[in-house]
Amino acid sequence: MYIIFIMATVILQNIPDELKNSFKATCAQKGTTMKAEFIRFMKESVGQEVLKKALEKKKRRKP
């Protein structure tokens, strides 16, 4: 049996140079990478969305 893990690739296009450079500098100041910060942002966004859905579901259950 084989287990294959496939990692996704995200390509962002048309990002303004000033924004990209500022993000890169901010990451460097934090001692992290752009990749790590983008993954953190995605996890945080998904977590907030999951929490929001859970709260909405809880509100619908109340009589």
Condensed to tens digits (0 to 9), the pLDDT of residues 29-41 reads 999 999 999 989 9
Burial zone of 6 (CB within 10 Å; 0-12 exposed, 13-18 middle, 19+ buried) = exposed
3-state class of 1 per DSSP?
Answer: coil
Which domain covers residue 38, as residue numbers?
32-63
Instruction: Confirm whether 8 is domain-assigned.
Output: no
pLDDT tens digits along 6-35: 778 889 999 999 999 999 999 999 999 999
User: How much is the pTM?
Assistant: 0.65
